[in-house]
Structure 1
Amino acid sequence: MNADRADREARETLSSFPAFYRYWMPRITGYLRSQTSDGRWVEDIAQESMLAAQRRWDELVTYDKPGAWLFRVATTMLRRWQAKAREQCTSLDDMITRGDAGLPSAGERGTDGRLDLMDAVRSLPRRQREAVALHCLLEFPMPEVARILGMSEGSAKTHVYRARRRLEELLREPAVEMEGRR
């Protein structure tokens, strides 16, 4: 996407809350889906994030990057919901039934022997998962990723680098792995 076009679209979203909602809702929902396989949370967190934006609309329109604010709110909400879900896992049986909070194991592969991209992203450690989704899937620049996640730009770069390296390992075709072992 052209940077000028993206800047123009982002500015236009501030013309009204409905325009902001139409532009950012599919992006925030997609981001949240990349973070958890438990779809029950995605729509609720996306809606709650948008409600928070609506409540602070007069202040939000003055921000340079209101989208970054929205993603930071959604990320914080998701972390809280995930922590709450972990607390509710009261037994090993419950954790097994839930599939370890909905995350696939790193070795789980489909019938064709490959991991689905979103499953692979979900299997990453939380910080790597968040950073790679924001930077690579949603195309946020690295300074924005750092700001959204509340870390230094160097840390954000490290998380994205490690995530990409791990995704490359996870998504490599089994035949390539077998050839590498010979």
Structure 2
Amino acid sequence: MTEAQDDRAFEDFYGHSFQGVFRVVVGLIGADEAWDVTQEAFVRTWISWDRLEGDDAHMRYTIAAAVGLSRSWLRRLYVRRSRSGDLVGEAETTSSSSSSPPDLGILEGLRTLPARQREALVLCDMYGLTAPEAATILHTNPGTTRVHLSRARLRMRQFLEEDDDIRHDDVAARQSRSVHDQSGGGR
């Protein structure tokens, strides 16, 4: 391929792949730093472009780079916080201020998962990889990835059910107060 063809091929790849990779990174570290991490993953793909053959290889490399960069970002965050004495669990390390409201419960639930479970869930359920494909990216075997995925799904289901129960209780309490206030009981 000529340099111009490589440039065009990468631009096409970037255009149709960015949103999917970005969603993976948001699922792993939250929305605040996802843009930078995603961009860096694509820079690394561009640097290695000539060594990779086919969109499938480019995509695998980009996702693997995004996962690795997300892990590094989380490690650096943990080190900064441990040095400052602000030790918080990984589940509380990122904010979701730029996420849309429907995603908040899912993002909060993802933050409660251990890193390997979160990675397996994001790659398989949010990005659509099979367990063997995710295992290749995570440098583990498919059986281990399936175990992490199963545990993550169970924990997410429990988290979302608890979150749903809390929201229903909150709505019921507000409705009860509203009915009470409308009937003159709140005066």
TM-score normalised by L of structure 2: 0.72
Q: Please name the residue that 1:57 is paired with.
A: 49
* Superposed displacement of residue 77, structure 1: 1.0
* Pairing 1:37–2:26 present: no
Aligned pairs for 1:8-27 (under 5 A) are: 16-27=9-20
Secondary structure in structure 2 of the residue aligned to 1:102: coil
Secondary structure in structure 2 of the residue aligned to 1:116: helix
Distance 1:54 1:128, change over 3 A: same
* Pairing 1:87–2:79 present: yes
The aligned amino acid for 2:40 is: E
* Residue deviations 1:125-158 (CA, integer Å, cap 9, x gap): 1000000011011111111100010000000000
Larger displacement relative to structure 2 (64-73 or 150-159): 64-73
Distance 1:58 1:68, change over 3 A: same
Secondary structure in structure 2 of the residue aligned to 1:56: helix
Work out whether residues 103 and 123 of structure 1, in 8 Å CA contact, stay in contact via their aligned partners in 2: no
* Superposed displacement of residue 26, structure 1: 0.8
Count residues in correspondence.
150
Work out whether residues 116 and 148 of structure 2, in 8 Å CA contact, stay in contact via their aligned partners in 1: yes
* Pairing 1:156–2:156 present: no
Secondary structure in structure 2 of the residue aligned to 1:151: coil
Question: Over aligned residue pairs, what C-alpha RMSD do you find?
Answer: 2.6
* Pairing 1:67–2:59 present: yes
* Superposed displacement of residue 56, structure 1: 1.2
* Pairing 1:135–2:124 present: yes
Work out whether residues 120 and 171 of structure 1, in 8 Å CA contact, stay in contact via their aligned partners in 2: yes
- Which structure dedicates a bigger proportion of its chain to helix? 2
Residue of structure 2 aligned with 1:174, choices 165, 170, 175: 165
The aligned amino acid for 1:18 is: E
Secondary structure in structure 2 of the residue aligned to 1:158: helix
**Structure 1 stretches of at least 4 aligned residues deviating more than 4 Å after TM superposition:** none
The aligned amino acid for 1:47 is: Q
Structure 2, gaps ≥5 residues long:
1-7, 97-103, 170-187
* Pairing 1:77–2:72 present: no
Structure 1, gaps ≥5 residues long:
1-14, 105-114
Partners in 1 of 2:14 and 2:155 — Cα distance?
A: 34
* Residue deviations 1:59-95 (CA, integer Å, cap 9, x gap): 1235753212111111111111111111111233x34
Partners in 1 of 2:56 and 2:22 — Cα distance?
A: 22
Q: Please name the residue that 1:144 is paired with.
A: 133
Distance 1:120 1:100, change over 3 A: closer
Partners in 2 of 1:46 and 1:91 — Cα distance?
A: 27
Partners in 2 of 1:140 and 1:101 — Cα distance?
A: 26
